Structure 1
Amino acid sequence: MADPYLLKPDPTAPNLSASVTGIDQNGNSIETRVVTEKPLTLYLNAQEVVTMMTIGDHPDLLAVGYLKNQNMLADDDVITEIDYDEDLEVVIVRTERETNFEEKLKKKVRTSGCAQGTVFGDVMEGFESVSLSKDARLKTSWLYELTKTINTTPSLYLEAGAIHGCVLCEENRPLIYMEDVGRHNAVDKIAGWMTLNNVSAHDKIFYTTGRLTSEMVIKTVMMDIPILVSRSGFTAWGVELARQAGLTLIGRARGKRFMALAGEDRIVFDLDPGLVEDEPVKAKRKGSVPAE
């Protein structure tokens, strides 16, 4: 079967995880893999915007996606250059339009995302004006196929744990799979890829391994993606915001089971759950093996 992904994790990349030694509950020596975590300072033209903690892959996508999701890049902005200096741990996004967000940078709302994710206050102000596609559909046959494919894809999570994953999908095909120590970073990488490749969002499905929090709902809506799916659970505010925006919100998607708490009208029940295999026992993560 052909690989459906256009971009996916590379758990063998040496700079994304490291081998460390320790002991287990019995005092025996072990060796395991742990993900890397390093700072990345983002500049928009000459202005410093934020320093993010990230695993370090795809800094260009992360930078553009972060700026896009914070409304610091407009749809008609032209990016002239993206400079990344690995030694200085700096990425600079340059645009034709002169930018100055000094006041905007003072106005932040802290969210529940890992690694102290934030959204700027005026992103919330624009939330009510977003209109998601009413024609988008999610067939249950697509959902079952997607969750099976994504959950069996080799990933840094299976290699080292302590990481979140997000996947951009179209119908039953996962397209882009990104991971990072904070799920908001994984979201921003996908937003950056969509922006740089001029990809339409109106018919896409967004999958995340993490909780369906207010931050995840806000980011998905601001990306104009009409359907958000997770194998994890919900927060009350996340559900409230999804209903307000008309976002289809599906959680606890494991095997043949799922729950939809918003936007249920987009779901097409085209496959009997009784014909779907339930999710097998969770695969054991690599690592935590006796050291030589």
Structure 2
Amino acid sequence: MQLAQNEDVAGYVIAPDPNAPRLTRSVVGHDQTGAGVVTSVVEERPLTIFLNSQEVVTAMTIGDYPDYLALGFLRNQGMLKAEDVVTGIDYDEELETVIVRTAVATDHEEKLKKKTRTSGCAVGTVFGDMMEGLEGVNLPAVSVRTSWLYALSARINRTPSLYLEAGAIHGTVLCQGDRPLVYMEDVGRHNAVDKIAGWMMAEGVGAEDKILYTTGRLTSEMVIKTAMMGIPVLASRSGFTAWGVEIAQQVGLTLIGRMRGQRFVCLSGEDRLVRDADPAAVADEPRKSGRKGAKT
């Protein structure tokens, strides 16, 4: 599988390419004064995921990295296990389908016949299956330097992206220390996370020393997916839900939200933070500033 579309001078992978014409479309409209404007909007198209011959879900997605999305979705839903051997991933752009093939039929294919669904906000989840997947999860208690958090926040917010180009999209970044590794975006935050999970599976990348950064809310489902991926730290510019915090505390996930400029809030794993940076020395960000404002 191809890793990504481009790589910046710092050596980390950036995906998708914000200049890829198939991911955005120019639309003519009018602004508040009535003047004509041309603006970029993000493409949205269906992708139906199959596990062997069984249809699993139809997701609304921007259309890039269908192999990573399918693989990561099945992994995060517990439909693919470590012992399942993936023999191939077949993508048909015309039919808008992707088929993940395994050496033998999986235990989940009969269950899937009763769970096929369509989601307009990304892929979504089979929540009960995900909760079962948390049994036995034992995340490593890794230290997190606050200098990493400040560096990641500043760097990611200025990374060329579809969000900066067109908005209406979520981003997720896999990081190691203060270094972003892979950046994925999609119309739904679950899709973006699943692409990261699929990339990690395809490339054999370990999770034990990684940080997952997302622009989306830190909900129960986002916490569960991160824990099932084996990633010990989840961070976001956005806020929390109570159940997300509760599950993070149960599984030992370090959970950090509202990361903006000098500020962040840690609601799980405070004892694992190493405060090696003075917040006063960090460039602040206006409280009401969005990611797009960080471009300048």
SS in 2 for 1:228: strand
User: Is it true that 1:155 corresponds to 2:161 in the alignment?
Assistant: yes
SS in 1 for 2:10: coil
1:122 to 126, 129, 141: 129
Structure 1 contact 110–119 (Cα < 8 Å) conserved: no
The residue that corresponds to 2:88 in the other structure is 81
Distance in 2, Cα, partners of 1:165 & 1:153: 11
The residue that corresponds to 2:110 in the other structure is 102
User: 5+ residue gaps in structure 2?
Assistant: 1-7
Task: Tell me how far 1:133 sits from its aligned partner.
Answer: 0.4
Structure 1 contact 227–247 (Cα < 8 Å) conserved: yes
**Residues 203-251 of structure 1 deviation map (CA, whole Å, 9 limit, x = unaligned):** 1000000111111111101111010000111111111111111111000
Task: Tell me how far 1:97 sits from its aligned partner.
Answer: 2.1
The residue that corresponds to 1:51 in the other structure is 58
The residue that corresponds to 1:176 in the other structure is 182
User: Is it true that 1:9 corresponds to 2:16 in the alignment?
Assistant: yes
Structure 1 contact 194–200 (Cα < 8 Å) conserved: yes
Structure 2 contact 127–221 (Cα < 8 Å) conserved: no
The residue that corresponds to 2:285 in the other structure is 279
Structure 2 contact 89–99 (Cα < 8 Å) conserved: yes
Q: CA RMSD in A?
A: 2.2
**Residues 24-75 of structure 1 deviation map (CA, whole Å, 9 limit, x = unaligned):** 2222222101000000111111111111110000000001001100111111
What are the residue-to-residue correspondences of 1:235-254 with 2, within 5 Å? 235-254=241-260
Distance in 1, Cα, partners of 2:20 & 2:192: 17
User: Is it true that 1:262 corresponds to 2:268 in the alignment?
Assistant: yes
Change (3 A) 1:284 1:172: closer
When structure 1 is superposed on structure 2, of 92-101 and 142-151 the one drifting more is 92-101
Distance in 2, Cα, partners of 1:252 & 1:110: 31
Structure 1 contact 108–119 (Cα < 8 Å) conserved: no
TM-score by length of 1: 0.91
Task: Tell me how far 1:255 sits from its aligned partner.
Answer: 1.0
SS in 2 for 1:132: coil
Task: Tell me how far 1:114 sits from its aligned partner.
Answer: 3.9
Point out which structure has higher relative CO (alpha carbons under 8 A, 6+ apart).
1
The residue that corresponds to 1:67 in the other structure is 74
Structure 1 contact 63–91 (Cα < 8 Å) conserved: yes
Structure 1 contact 139–270 (Cα < 8 Å) conserved: yes
Letter in 2 for 1:106: K
Change (3 A) 1:97 1:285: same
Distance in 2, Cα, partners of 1:241 & 1:175: 26
Distance in 1, Cα, partners of 2:111 & 2:238: 36
User: Is it true that 1:194 corresponds to 2:200 in the alignment?
Assistant: yes
The residue that corresponds to 2:146 in the other structure is 140
Distance in 1, Cα, partners of 2:214 & 2:161: 14
Identity, % of aligned pairs? 64
Task: Tell me how far 1:272 sits from its aligned partner.
Answer: 1.2
Distance in 1, Cα, partners of 2:125 & 2:116: 7
SS in 2 for 1:52: strand
Letter in 2 for 1:228: L
1:231 to 231, 237, 240: 237
1:42 to 43, 49, 53: 49
Structure 1 contact 4–173 (Cα < 8 Å) conserved: no
Distance in 2, Cα, partners of 1:61 & 1:35: 20
TM-score by length of 2: 0.90
Distance in 2, Cα, partners of 1:253 & 1:109: 34
SS in 1 for 2:255: strand
The residue that corresponds to 1:289 in the other structure is none
Structure 1 contact 159–285 (Cα < 8 Å) conserved: no
SS in 2 for 1:252: strand
